A = this chain, B = another copy of it.
Amino acid sequence: MDQHLGLRERKKQRTRETISDTAIALFLEHGFDPVSITQVAEAAEVSRRTLFSYFPAKEDLVVHRFADHEDESARVVRARPADQSPLDALRANFLDGLRRHDPITGINDHPEVIAIYKLILDTPALHARLVKFYESSERALADALRETADLPELPAQLIAAQFSAVQRTLALDNFRRAVAGTTAADAYPDALAAAELAFGQLRDGLG
Contact A206/B197 with A162-B162, A166-B161, A166-B162 known, Cβ cut-off 8 Å: no
- Indicate if A169 sits at the interface (CB-CB under 8 A): yes
Q: Give chain B residues whose Cβ lies under 8 Å from the Cβ of A173.
A: 154, 157
Is A121 an interface residue when CB atoms closer than 8 A count as contact? no
* Contact count band on A: 20 to 34
Cβ contact within 8 Å between B207 and A85: yes
Asked if residues A204 and B201 are in contact (CB atoms below 8 Å), the reply is no
Q: Is B164's CB under 8 angstroms from A87's CB?
A: no
What is the minimal beta-carbon distance from A51 to any residue of chain B, in angstroms? 22
Residue A26 CB within 8 A of the other chain? no
Chain B residue with the shortest CB-CB distance to A132 = B128
Contact with A161, one of B155, B169, B194, B205 (Cβ below 8 angstroms): B169
Interface class of chain A by DSSP: helix
In the complex, the answer to whether A161 meets B154 with C-beta atoms within 8 Å is no
Known: A201-B205, A203-B207, A207-B203. A158 touches B169 (CB 8 A): yes
- Flag whether A140 is at the interface (Cβ < 8 A): no
Task: Check A146 for interface membership: any CB of B closer than 8 A.
Answer: no
CA distance A155 to B194 in the complex (A): 9
Binding site for B on A (CB under 8 A): 85, 87, 128, 131-132, 135, 154-155, 157-159, 161-162, 164-166, 168-169, 173, 194, 197-198, 201-207
| 5 pairs, A vs B, C-beta closer than 8 Å | A128-B132, A154-B173, A154-B197, A157-B169, A202-B205
